[in-house]
Amino acid sequence: MTPKRQSVGLAGSLFVSACCLGAGPILAGLAAALGFSAFHSILNVYVLLPLMTVSVLWVVWNLRIQGNALAGSALRYPPFWSGLIGGSVAWVGVLLPHVVAGTKHVGTDLIIVGMALFIGASLWSVIDQRRRLGASARSA
92-108 tens-digit pLDDT: 998 888 788 888 899 88
**Within-domain flag for 139:** no
pLDDT in tens, 48-102: 788 888 888 888 888 898 899 888 899 999 999 999 999 999 999 988 887 888 8
pLDDT exceeds cutoff 60 at 19: yes
Q: What are phi and psi of 52, to 5 degrees?
A: -65, -40
Judged by DSSP in three states, 1 sits in coil
What is residue 21's predicted lDDT score, i.e. its pLDDT? Answer: 67
Query: What span, in angstroms and rounded, lies between the C-alpha atoms of 118 and 97?
Result: 20
Q: What are phi and psi of 31, to 5 degrees?
A: -65, -40
Average confidence (pLDDT) over 32-53: 70
What single letter denotes the amino acid at residue 72? Answer: G
Q: How many CB atoms lie within 10 A of CB 22?
A: 10
The model's pTM: 0.76
State how many domains the chain has: 1
What is residue 23's predicted lDDT score, i.e. its pLDDT? Answer: 66
Identify the domain containing residue 115 by its residue range. 3-134
Looking at 34-77, list the stretches that DSSP marks H as alpha helix, in order from N- to C-terminal side.
40-42, 49-71
Query: Which residue, 63, 124, 105, is CA-closest to 88?
Result: 63
What is residue 22's predicted lDDT score, i.e. its pLDDT? Answer: 67
Quote helix, strand, coil % in the chain, to nearest 5: 90, 0, 10
What is residue 64's predicted lDDT score, i.e. its pLDDT? Answer: 92
pLDDT in tens, 102-139: 888 998 899 899 989 998 998 898 888 888 878 877 77
